[in-house]
Amino acid sequence: SCDTSMASQLSELNRYPFLTNSDAHSLGKIAREYTKIKMDHASFAEFKLALEEKDGRAVTGNYGLAPRLGKYYHTTCEKCGVRPHAPDQEECHVCGHTRMTKGVSERL
């Protein structure tokens, strides 16, 4: 639910390569998000080299939906999808549901 620029705001993660991939729940959403990786050939050993940025292998890009357009960018009610008035609101002002999914923008 975030992109490279958002993930880089967490400095403790900067030593790790950022990967983004779709967990598509429908055929139309397959490859909506993907990571481009430079490898010599497809293998787990090559993938490991790319993650470690060794011997010319590397993650070269992450592509996908802009985070602001995603379902989980803002905190929303798990039942009706409405955003709360305040970040610490415990009950939905529309349907009364008591579970909110905290959005990635608020988690950062």
Domain boundaries, the chain: 1-66, 71-108
Percent of the chain whose predicted confidence (pLDDT) is above 70: 99
Element (H, E) at 62: strand 58-63
pLDDT digits (tens, 9 = 90+) for 79-106: 999 999 987 888 999 999 999 998 888 8
pTM score: 0.68
Closest among 14, 24, 21, 22 to 37, alpha carbons compared? 21
pLDDT reported for residue 70: 81
Nearest to 18 by CA among 29, 8, 33: 8
